[in-house]
Structure 1
Amino acid sequence: MSVNGRGLDYWWCKLRAIVLLVVGRRHAAEALFDEMLQRWPLDAYALASRAILRAQLGRREAALEDAQALVAAHPQRSAADWFNLAYLFEDAARLGEAERAFRQALELDPKLDRAWYGLGLTLIRLRRFDEAVAALKRNTELQPMSPFGWYQLARVHMDRHEPDQTRRIIRHLQGFEPKVAAQLERETGLAP
């Protein structure tokens, strides 16, 4: 019997994996994902889940391998797949690859605010501040009430020796995130 092109065995494995994850049996879930990938090579669910799980277990290289296999086998499936790969690359200081993966995520979903934020952070690390400003501005347009993009944008303006822009962001943050505004004042020595 088949459900949506997959046999009941597949769905039973998937359900068991979810239960194992819910009850905190991560190593057993990983073994089940291994089994699933032996039975259904390059299965998107198993690859994505195992990549996330391996990252949580601190096995970054193995997580990267799964994330790369996922986007190679299913390049158009999800912007989130590319975002997760980019995050792993960024964490491993493989910044050029992180940038390309963030950009691919944004090609699939231009409104993925966390990909704009991640791209901005990567560009900061690459010291490409003009591009970082553009990415972080887009992040703040999509998430205007999140302080993270604003904070990083203020820091980039300081790096670019643009204190007036930093002051403007501090004033803006005082309206909805006064603690972050105060932190920026302390770090930069600028008063709004």
Structure 2
Amino acid sequence: MMKSLNSWYLRLQIRALLVFGRRAQALERVEALIRDVGEDLYALATKAHVLAETGDKPGALQVLQRLVEVAPEQAAGWFNLGYLSEELGLLDRAEAAFRRATEIEPKMDRAWYGLGLCLIRQNRFDEAVPALRKNTELQPMSPYGWYQLARVHVDRQEPEEAVKIIHHLRRFEPKVAAQLVRETGLGQAQS
């Protein structure tokens, strides 16, 4: 009883410290929580988040790796591991993590988007298309997946597909459509 009360109090302190930007003190409380309850998912995820925010991305990556070892069926941990791996240029690791996240939670649109970006960075455009299409299927009103999908079609020498996306974006994101027109020179005429 006392241990769970102490854990609850530490979690409350961590949240308050993070709200007020006191990351070093929050990290101390996270370490105390880990000592108190072991490799708690909340504590590990919070530790990774704070380490990444304070610039210790390699340290955050190690914590996220531990998180997915402790909770291999948690898609969010795999997504975060993929995101940080991609940011650090560890593209094979990022791809594997994003793929695992999408296997666990097929409707995790951000994991499909991350996978698409990772494949684009590897110049694997043909493989990026299905990932980005899945992202746009799950988030049809978000311009990010559509934008990247149009860029991939341009890179694949499929301007007609990019033009279709530009026309589609004009209906709900005209600024993004205009940006694509400027960048690609495609879709000049309004339809």
TM-score by length of 1: 0.95
Work out the CA distance in 1 between the residues paired with 2:180 and 2:4: 55
Q: List runs of 5+ in structure 2 lacking aligned partners.
A: none
Q: Aligned residue for 1:23?
A: 20
Runs of 4+ in 1 over 6 A off after TM superposition: none
- CA offsets, 1:110-154, max 9 Å, x none? 000000000000011111111100000000000000000000000
Work out the CA distance in 1 between the residues paired with 2:125 and 2:20: 44
2:117 to 115, 121, 142: 121
CA-CA distance at 1:38 after TM superposition = 2.2
Q: List runs of 5+ in structure 1 lacking aligned partners.
A: none
CA-CA distance at 1:158 after TM superposition = 0.5
Residue 129 of structure 2 is aligned to residue 141 of structure 1: no
CA-CA distance at 1:191 after TM superposition = 2.0
CA-CA distance at 1:162 after TM superposition = 0.5
Q: Aligned residue for 2:160?
A: 164
CA-CA distance at 1:178 after TM superposition = 0.5
Work out the CA distance in 1 between the residues paired with 2:171 and 2:153: 20
- Residues 62-141 of structure 1: matches in 2 within 5 Å? 62-76=59-73, 78-141=74-137
Work out the CA distance in 1 between the residues paired with 2:24 and 2:57: 15
1:11 to 3, 8, 13: 8
State the AA in 1 paired with 2:168: H
Please identify, of 39-48 and 25-34, the stretch whose mean Cα deviation from structure 2 is larger: 39-48
SS of alignment partner, residue 42 of structure 1: coil
- CA offsets, 1:23-69, max 9 Å, x none? 22111001111122223331111100010111111110011011001
- CA offsets, 1:49-104, max 9 Å, x none? 0101111111100110110011111111x211110010010001000100110011
Q: Aligned residue for 1:181?
A: 177
Percent sequence identity over matched residues?
55
What is the Cα-based RMSD across aligned positions, in Å?
1.1
CA-CA distance at 1:174 after TM superposition = 0.6
CA-CA distance at 1:107 after TM superposition = 1.1
Work out the CA distance in 2 between the residues paired with 1:119 and 1:92: 15
Work out the CA distance in 1 between the residues paired with 2:163 and 2:4: 59
